[in-house]
Amino acid sequence: MVAGQMYYADDQNLAKQREQAKSLCFEYNHLKPSDLENRINIMKKLLGKTKKNFWIEPTFWCDYGYNIEIGENFYANHNLVILDGNQVKFGDHVLIGPNCGFYTAGHPLDFEIRNQGLEYAKPIEVGSNCWFGGNVVVLPGVKIGSGCVIGAGSVVTKNIPQGSLAYGNPCKVQKKLK
């Protein structure tokens, strides 16, 4: 799966790992807003790597958790979904607006292969000092360079070079930022 090759998503071992991650997400999403200590502890238990300062507003959902790495001063607003069949890495000082999704999982175009339950996952990488507006979707295999701003409602299908303002569906670089 992490090698980017086709795999069976309904594999019992993978299904058990997803169940464990979703149980932690469920617990996290149902904590009182004032229960700060448990919120942080659950995220540290769920995610593969965190730095000291981060905050993820509920609701949050992921598939495995251990494939997610977040940097220092990471903030995600409500309704973040990360389908982490492969690595998803965020640099430092990343801001994510509400209702965003980072999806490493993909399915074959050939329905006969897809109907066998096969899928693939490609890594996503986000540099430092990036800001994502609300309702952004980042697709499998995308790299977003440091210092980027991705406009609200964008669907990011291709790599975005560092220091870019990009938006649209499909997301395209509109200008370089200073």
Under 8 Å between Cβ of 129 and 147: yes
Cβ contacts of residue 96 below 8 Å, gap of 6+? 75, 76, 77, 80, 132, 136
User: Can 107 be counted among the known catalytic residues?
Assistant: yes
Tokens, residue 164: 């870019």
Q: Give the CA distances from residue 118 to residues 44, 59, 64, in Å, rounded to whole numbers and listed in that order.
A: 30, 28, 18
Which of 30, 78, 93, 107 is flagged as catalytic? 107
Active-site amino acid positions: 107
